[in-house]
C-alpha cells in the first residue's frame, strides 16, 4: 500500500454513487496469510465518506488482531489496517465538511461532537464512534461496505480498514488535512504519533522543566519523547532493551538512555539516581505488565508500600 503512486487529483465523477472494484489484503482466518484479491466497495451512505487509500502502515494492533489473540474479535473475512492517509473519492448524504479530492487521515477513535463524552474535557471516547475492536460493521445500518465478487460480506476493522485501495468510513472517523502536507508522512498520525503526543499533551499535561521517563522506544515511545521535548521537559529518559534505539531517540529529544540488560541494578534505581528521587512523569509504551510496574516505580514520591506492586492482568484496566 505504501508504494501506491501519489495521484492526489480529483476522482472520476462516474465512480461516485457506484460500487468500486479494487484490490485489498483480506484476512480469511486467524494467522492465515493475507490474500490480495478483488473486493467490492459500496458507495458511502448517509454521513459516510469513501476514501482512496494512498499510504498505509502496519501497527502491532493489526498484528494482534490478525493473529486472533482475542477470540471475541475473530470475525472473518476481514480487512485490517488503521494507520493511513488518502483522498476523498466521494461523500454520502449530509457530509458538509469534506468533499471529493480532500486530503484526509482516517482515525479509529472518531468523535460525533454531540454526545456527553465528546463534550466532556476528561475523555474523547465518543459514545457512538469510540474505538471498538469488536465492531465489524458500519454504525449507520449495521452492515459492511465491503464484499467479495460473489457478494459475500467482508468485515471492517477499527472503523477504518485501510488495507484496501478504497475504504468507507463514518465521517466522524475522518480528519481533513492541509493539501501541502505530505500524505506519506501522515499515516502514523492515525495512531502511533497521536497516541504518544496525546498522552503527553492531553493525558499527563507535562509541564516545562519537568523530568520524563519513557519505557519502550517504538513509534509510540518516540512520539512521547517528541511531545515531551515540545513541552519543554528538562530531562527525557529513554528505556529500551535495544540500544540502537537511543540514536533515533536522541533526535527526538531523549537526553539519557538505559538498557535494562546493561545495568547492574533495576532501571528505576538508576533513574532515581539521576533525577534526585524519580521522574515527574513516566510513560509505559511497551505493553508489558512487568515494564508497567517498573515505570510506575520510577516516579518520585511513590509510597514504600508500593515497592512490591503487582498487577493482575485479567483485571487491569488502563
Residue 48 three-state SS: strand
State residue 4's pLDDT score: 40
Q: Above 80 in pLDDT, residue 313?
A: no
The per-residue pLDDT for range 42-72, each reduced to its tens digit, is 999 999 999 999 999 998 889 988 988 876 6
The per-residue pLDDT for range 73-109, each reduced to its tens digit, is 789 999 999 999 999 999 999 999 999 999 999 999 9
Q: What pTM was computed for the model?
A: 0.84
* 230 vs 122: which has the higher pLDDT: 230
State residue 11's pLDDT score: 54
Domain boundary residue, one of 169, 190, 211:
190
CATH code, 247? 3.40.50.720
Q: Above 90 in pLDDT, residue 266?
A: yes
CATH code, 72? 3.90.180.10
13 pLDDT tier (thresholds 50, 70, 90):
low
Is 123 domain-assigned?
yes
Shared-domain flag, residues 132 and 115: yes
State residue 308's pLDDT score: 47
CA-to-CA dists, residue 31 to 13, 158, 266, angstroms = 39, 18, 36
Q: What letters, b where the CB count within 10 A reaches 16 and e where it falls short, cover 164-187? A: bbbbbbbbbbbbeeeeeeebeebb
State residue 254's pLDDT score: 98
Count, residues in the chain = 318
Shared-domain flag, residues 210 and 240: yes
Shared-domain flag, residues 154 and 116: yes
Average pLDDT, the chain: 89
80 and 27 Cβ atoms separated by less than 8 Å:
yes
Amino acid at each position: 500500500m505504501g508504494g501506491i503512486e501519489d495521484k492526489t487529483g480529483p476522482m472520476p465523477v462516474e465512480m461516485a454513487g457506484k460500487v468500486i472494484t479494487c484490490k485489498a489484503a483480506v484476512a480469511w482466518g486467524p494467522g492465515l496469510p493475507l490474500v490480495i484479491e478483488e473486493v467490492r466497495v459500496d458507495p458511502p451512505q448517509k454521513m459516510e465518506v469513501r476514501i482512496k487509500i494512498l499510504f498505509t502502515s502496519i501497527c502491532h494492533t493489526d498484528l494482534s488482531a490478525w493473529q486472533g489473540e482475542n477470540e471475541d474479535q475473530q470475525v472473518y473475512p476481514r480487512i485490517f489496517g488503521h494507520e493511513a492517509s488518502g483522498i476523498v473519492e466521494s461523500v454520502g448524504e449530509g457530509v458538509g465538511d469534506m468533499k471529493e479530492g480532500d486530503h484526509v487521515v482516517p482515525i479509529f477513535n472518531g468523535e460525533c461532537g454531540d454526545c456527553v463524552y465528546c463534550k466532556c474535557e476528561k475523555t474523547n471516547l465518543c459514545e457512538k464512534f469510540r474505538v471498538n475492536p469488536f465492531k465489524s460493521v458500519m454504525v449507520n445500518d449495521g452492515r459492511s461496505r465491503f464484499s467479495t465478487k460473489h457478494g459475500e460480506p467482508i468485515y471492517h476493522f477499527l472503523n477504518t480498514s485501510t488495507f484496501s485501495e478504497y475504504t468507507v468510513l463514518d465521517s466522524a472517523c475522518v480528519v481533513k488535512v492541509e493539501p501541502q502536507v505530505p500524505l506519506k508522512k501522515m499515516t502514523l498520525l492515525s495512531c502511533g504519533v497521536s497516541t504518544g503526543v496525546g498522552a503527553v499533551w492531553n493525558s499527563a499535561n507535562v509541564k516545562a522543566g519537568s523530568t520524563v521517563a519513557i519505557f519502550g522506544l517504538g513509534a509510540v515511545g518516540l512520539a512521547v519523547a517528541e511531545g515531551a521535548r515540545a513541552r519543554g521537559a528538562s530531562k527525557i529518559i529513554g528505556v529500551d532493551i535495544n540500544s540502537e534505539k537511543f540514536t533515533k531517540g536522541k533526535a527526538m529529544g531523549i537526553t539519557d538512555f538505559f538498557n535494562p540488560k546493561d545495568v547492574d541494578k533495576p532501571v528505576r534505581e538508576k533513574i532515581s539516581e539521576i533525577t534526585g528521587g524519580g521522574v515527574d512523569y513516566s510513560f509505559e509504551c511497551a505493553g508489558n505488565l512487568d515494564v508497567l510496574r517498573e515505570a510506575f516505580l520510577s516516579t518520585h514520591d511513590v509510597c514504600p508500600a508500593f515497592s512490591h506492586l503487582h498487577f493482575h492482568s485479567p483485571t487491569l484496566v488502563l
